[in-house]
Structures are given as C-alpha cells and as structure tokens.
Amino acid sequence: MSETQTPTNTKERYLSGISVSSGIVFGKVCIIDHFDDLSDQYSNEFAGIDVEKQRLKNAYSSVKKEYKNALKIVSKNEKETVNILKSEMMILEDDFFLRQIHKNIEKKINAENSVINEFLKIETKLRQAKEPAIREKYFEFENIKNKILNNLQNLNLQKQIENNSIVIAHSISPIEVVQLKRRKVKAIITELGGITSHFVILARSYKIPTIIGVSNATELIKNNDLVIVNAIDSEIIINPTEEEIKLYKKKITEIKEKHKLLLNLKDQPTKTKDDYSVNLFCNINNDEDIEESIKLNSGGLGLVRTETLVMKYSKLPSVEEQFKNYIDIAEKLYPKQVIFRAFDLGSDKYLDDILTKEENPALGLRGIRYLLKNKELFANQLKAILMASKLKNVKLMLPMISSICEVRKTKELINLVKAELISKGIEFDDKLPIGIMIETPAAAIIADEFAQIVDFFSIGTNDLVQYVLAADRTNEQLSEYFNQVHISILRIIQQVANAGKKHNIPVAICGELARYSKMTEIFIGLGINELSVAPSSYLEIKQKILSINYQDAVRYTNSIINNEENYDFIKY
C-alpha cells in the first residue's frame, strides 16, 4: 500500500475524543473485532445442555489461561497491572456466578445468551452506582464478559492484532493492553472508556498514545486506513492528505527535538533571568513518575498522592506497606523534599469498598474529613510518614482543609503518634513540616489565619476551581464553566500568596493549572514561588521560568489582574 490514500471526502475524516495518554503517531489501522452483544447478530441455536456447558467450560478455561499468560509477561514490579489483572481474574473464579450461568443453560438458553443474561444483571447495578469508582467496576465485568463471548465465537484477539498498528476498538480491557504492548501497537483509539478506567492507566504507564470516547470510531475508520493520531490535541485524521502527513511528520520531529533540547535544561538552576528562584517540583501518581522525576533532576516532589497506594494494593495498605513505600521514595529523592499528602479518599477517588455511598460525594466525607472520622486509619498513615521522616526531607500535607480545628485535631493526633514512636524508640523528624492544600474557598478566605499555624500552602486548583465556580471537575459537559483562569481564581491565588508572604511560608500551586506555561509568568507575578507539575510538563515549565524576568512579571500581572478580558488569550 502507498503511504497516502485517497482521502475520504467527508467531514468525518476528522474525529475527536479525549486524549488520555499523549503523543503523536501515524500508521495503519487494525480494528479489533470484539463480540458485541448489543449490535451483533448472535444465534439462539441451542446445542443441548451438556454441549453448551462444555462450550462454556472451554471458553472459561481459555480466558483463564490468557490471564495467567499475561501475568507471566508483566514484571512483578508492575504492581498496578498485576492487581488489575488479578482483580478481573477474580470474576472468573467466582463459582456462584458460574453456577448462575449454568442455571440459564439448564433453562435451554445457549452459552452466549446465558453469559449475557447474568453479566447484564450485575452490570446494570454497577452502571447505576453513583460513585464513579464503582461505576468503573462495570468495565471489569464488561472485559471478562467480552473475553468469554469472544472465545465462544472464536474471535481471537492475538490473531487480529498486527504489529506496529493503530488499534481501534469499541472498548479495550487491561489484559488486552498488555497484549497490545507486546505487539508494539503505536496507538489506541476507543469508543468507550472512562478517563480513570484501568485500561487507561495501563496505556498511560506503557506510554501508548491513546484517545478514548471517539464516537463510532469502529465504523468511521476502516481496517488498513492510514490515520494520524494526535493524542496531544485529541485529534484523529483518517487517510490524511500528503500535506497533512508532511505537517504531522514535521510536528513529530519538532516534538522530539524540543524534548532533546529541553533535556539540556535539566541541570540548570530554576531561576528567572533576573535571578528570582522558583522551586519546581513534580506531582506523583505512580512509581514511573518517581523515576521520571529523578531523571529530570527535579527540585523534589511537591505532591505525592498517597491514595494511589490504595489502588496499588487493592486495599488500604498496612503501616508496614506504607512505610516501605514512603521511605523508599524519601531515600531515592534525598536530600530533596518529598511532600506526602495524607490519603485524599472520597469524592471521585477510590471509593470501592472503603467508603459508604453518599448523595453528594464531592461535598461529602472526603480528604481530612474522612481521615478525622477514621482516626485509626489516619494514625497509621501518620505513623508511616513520621517513620519515613527520619531522613528529614519529608513533609506532610493535609487535603480538603476548610477549618482551623481540622489542623488542630490533626496536630493532636500527630503528637499521640509521636509519643508512641518515642516510647518504642523509633526515630522520626520531630520538626516534620505540616502544610495544607488550599482547595476549598473557606481555606482560601482565611488563609491569613492558616498561615500562622502551618508551615506551607499548596493551592489545589483542580478542586478550588470546582468549588469556587460550582462546576463539577469530572463533568465534561461543564468544561466551559470549569474556567481555571476565571478572575475569581486568580484573585484567590493572589490573596493566598499574600498571606504566605506576610507570614513567611512558601506557597505552591500543585493543581493542573500549574502546567500551563501561559500562566507561569502570571503566577510568578502574583507572588507564587513554588510550582508542582506532572513530570511530563516539568521541562516545559522550567524553560518558561528561565525565560521570564521577575520584575517584568510583577508589572505585567499588576496591569492585567483586574480585568478578565485581558487574559482571554489563556483560555484553552
């Protein structure tokens, strides 16, 4: 096939979705044909109770074999992947569930329909769950169901995938991501998929550019089509023109060159042109991020989201498990700072078996509220963090703070834990710095009072924007309301920065807004002296800081801060 093909003459050559793992690639399409119980014609033919049971048994055992093989492929260090696969395997090992499918077969329903009936019952319940984390469980059942149905229909994924292709599918399961990685697929495009679904997490950690939520992708894109997947701007071009290919090849080269150039910056001090130092840190979601931040020679870690350990272990980790993780990070980063944020459980994060259902979880028992209601769990985490603080490069940060008494109560608990550690002769940093996230309007409004009782602030713009603008951060339909550069947000940042300055404590921004380089100058002008961003944005922000003049930034910011129209250009 020639490199270019005749472009399809419709607007549908351009598709869009949600980029969940970034990168730009160009290649040939391979559509994965899953058995689709909603639209496929499947037969009602019934071959007899024994035959149907045997077919089901064969399908179950091949799927189990696939999972066992996948577990052999992934390394033991890939704990998240192992846990995801094991969690799906548990569905296959549920005897009660299997017996229910058998009962259907005994009513003379064939194996396919019996599987669909039973999965539908549980999937309907999961889909109706209010908590996103429980709704995400739906995907695990969907993955297993599709695997079994594919087997019953002899649709073998391994045979369908072509090496180095761009895979398009209605949905993808985590085990398939492992298989796709082996086949070196260049990109993944799916019609379904939640931003936080397990397959997305794996695709991201394997650095496979991925765009999800592309409506009708499996119909609009054909096998062997050439496509450009721009998983930076969430754009797909089907059968691009020569011109478009040239443009994208140029873009890919530019990105590579830019990254190489940026890497040269990694050992330079992070200062503006006129010598104003800005501390630039990394936000950490997983082990890969830690390794990345070390490679980048980052200034340290500005936000370790410890609640991701709950996902890593598929349960609340014990004190020992937590300590092992925390000390490992503190040692790897030493002598640079590591800010561990106490578990921010609740709202859209890791609800599954731990939290009770709430009508309004974003305004519910989350972050510090949950921790103070579950003192034993909180004390265990404080113990593990204190034990890891013996190197004296560790700091503790509290999420979702809205009242002074939450800090007081936490300090009381810390004192109790310290007393226990002293009595056992366990070493820790007695001066462990304690800071708070500024992510509720209440905390921002009384920042002046907070600044007198804590050691640092970190502004969590993701939640702050959600609560100030009353716009759910997880609701795609509200994206125009979720305006992170609304004038109210910039004024709040300024007010918090001033409170920090007055009481001489550092003020960082660790929300997503920190990674927009168009905002860096304004943040510096507002008096922010620390930023914490995902490792993927680190060098770009560093480059921006090096190009700024502090005095100019202050003048520029003062001239625009009071008029929202002045920074319309920042909207993205």
Contact positions vs ligand PEP (CB under 6 A): 303, 305, 344, 439, 460-463, 510-511
Helices 111-128 and 132-152 meet at what angle, rounded to 10? Answer: 170
Considering the complex, what minimum distance in angstroms separates the CB of residue 399 from Mg ion? Answer: 6
Closest CA to 399 of 317, 311, 313, 340: 340
Which of ligand PEP, Mg ion, none sits in contact with 109, Cβ below 5 to 8 A by type? none
Q: Which residue is nearest to Mg ion (CB)?
A: 463
Following CA atoms 351, 357, 358, 361 in sequence, which dihedral angle do they give, to the nearest 10 degrees? 10
Closest CA to 315 of 350, 290, 361, 356: 350
Contact yes or no for 441/400 (Cβ under 8 A): no
Closer residue to Mg ion (CB): 354 or 459: 459
Closer residue to Mg ion (CB): 240 or 460: 460
SS3 434: strand
Closer residue to ligand PEP (CB): 199 or 343: 343
Considering the complex, what minimum distance in angstroms separates the CB of residue 298 from ligand PEP? Answer: 17
Q: Which phi and psi (to 5°) does residue 417 adopt?
A: -65, -40
Which of ligand PEP, Mg ion, none sits in contact with 510, Cβ below 5 to 8 A by type? ligand PEP
Closer residue to Mg ion (CB): 387 or 400: 400
Q: What are the DSSP E strand ranges found in 256-305?
A: 279-284, 300-305
Peptide bond into 335 cis (omega under 30): yes
Which residues in 518-543 are b (16+ Cβ under 10 Å) and which e? ebbbbbbbbbbbbbbbbbebbbbbbb
Which of ligand PEP, Mg ion, none sits in contact with 511, Cβ below 5 to 8 A by type? ligand PEP
Cα 471 to its chain centre, rounded Å, is 20
SS3 55: helix
Considering the complex, what minimum distance in angstroms separates the CB of residue 61 from ligand PEP? Answer: 41
Closer residue to Mg ion (CB): 145 or 366: 366
Residue 88 as a binder of Mg ion (CB under 5 A): the answer is no
Closer residue to ligand PEP (CB): 136 or 463: 463
Which of ligand PEP, Mg ion, none sits in contact with 137, Cβ below 5 to 8 A by type? none
Considering the complex, what minimum distance in angstroms separates the CB of residue 165 from ligand PEP? Answer: 34
Q: Can you list the alpha helix ranges (DSSP code H) found in 401-534?
A: 404-423, 441-445, 447-450, 461-468, 487-502, 517-526
Closer residue to Mg ion (CB): 78 or 463: 463
SS3 391: helix
Active site residues: 198, 510
- Ranges within 421-460 binding Mg ion (CB under 5 A): 439, 460
Considering the complex, what minimum distance in angstroms separates the CB of residue 438 from ligand PEP? Answer: 9
Considering the complex, what minimum distance in angstroms separates the CB of residue 496 from Mg ion? Answer: 15
Q: What distance in Å separates the CA atoms of residue 201 and residue 427, rounded to the nearest whole number?
A: 36
Which of Mg ion, ligand PEP, none sits in contact with 66, Cβ below 5 to 8 A by type? none
Considering the complex, what minimum distance in angstroms separates the CB of residue 559 from ligand PEP? Answer: 27
- Characterize the bridge pairing of strands 394-398 and 337-341: parallel
User: Kindly report the CA angle at 13 between 12 and 15, in degrees rounded to 5?
Assistant: 70
Contact yes or no for 298/281 (Cβ under 8 A): yes
Partners of 339 in the β-ladder: 395
Which of Mg ion, ligand PEP, none sits in contact with 194, Cβ below 5 to 8 A by type? none
- Ranges within 462-491 binding Mg ion (CB under 5 A): 463
Contact yes or no for 112/42 (Cβ under 8 A): yes
Residue 361 as a binder of Mg ion (CB under 5 A): the answer is no
Instruction: Give me the residues that bind Mg ion (CB under 5 A), please.
Output: 439, 460, 463
